[in-house]
Amino acid sequence: MTEYKKVRDTKETKLEIVMDPKRDFKESNINTGVGFFDHMLALFSFHSEIYLNVKAEGDLHIDAHHTVEDIGIVLGQLIREIYVDQQSYLRYGSMYLPMDESLARVVLDLSGRPFLSFRAEFSREKTGDFDTELVEEFFNAVAMNSRMTLHIDLLKRGNSHHEIEAIFKAFARSLKIALSPTNSGIPSSKGVIE
């Protein structure tokens, strides 16, 4: 199985997400109704080399919170399915990533133990119409639902767009490393990742 798909339908959002870790240079198709978030998800797809198709309708007349959080929930669930199915992967990934004046560090463990440490103070409360506080909401939903341990640190600030972009790219590249196949089977001295 190379393609993973989930649907979420609530009173707040309706969304369908397809992920394919064998991207084969397919261009992702992302439409969340939140332009800046679409851009970040496209960067995630490119740098993780995971094909992403996202169709979302949310209560954007209120704000983008439910849409961003619910996409994080479903992406996390799909990431979990990918690494559980693989049975052989590096497990750990880390990346320092600069975006001009900004610098982010992301370290993760596909451990089966959900945890998020998020240390990022953004230079502005909004990037365009996007509330920067939603970045933490998104990654919390991803970490809890993928059952990964995730540490995100914004080490150098600057333009808020660059700050968030550095985080998304660093996360994508860390995940790509962690999902890299190995010949050693389940990557745990316990012999199991729950």
CA atoms within 13 A on the CB side of 167: 27
pTM of the model: 0.95
Q: Which residues contact 11 (CB under 8 A, 6 or more apart)?
A: none
Instruction: Give domain limits for the chain.
Output: 4-178
What pLDDT sits at residue 190?
A: 75
What pLDDT sits at residue 24?
A: 67
Under the banding of pLDDT at 50, 70 and 90, the label for residue 1 is low
Under the banding of pLDDT at 50, 70 and 90, the label for residue 140 is very high
What pLDDT sits at residue 87?
A: 80
Q: What mean pLDDT do residues 145-151 have?
A: 98
What pLDDT sits at residue 52?
A: 95
CATH T-level assignment (fold) for domain 4-178: Ribosomal Protein S5; domain 2 (3.30.230)
Residue 179, pLDDT above cutoff 80: yes
Residue 41, pLDDT above cutoff 80: yes
C-alpha to C-alpha distance for 45 and 52, rounded to whole angstroms: 6
What pLDDT sits at residue 25?
A: 61
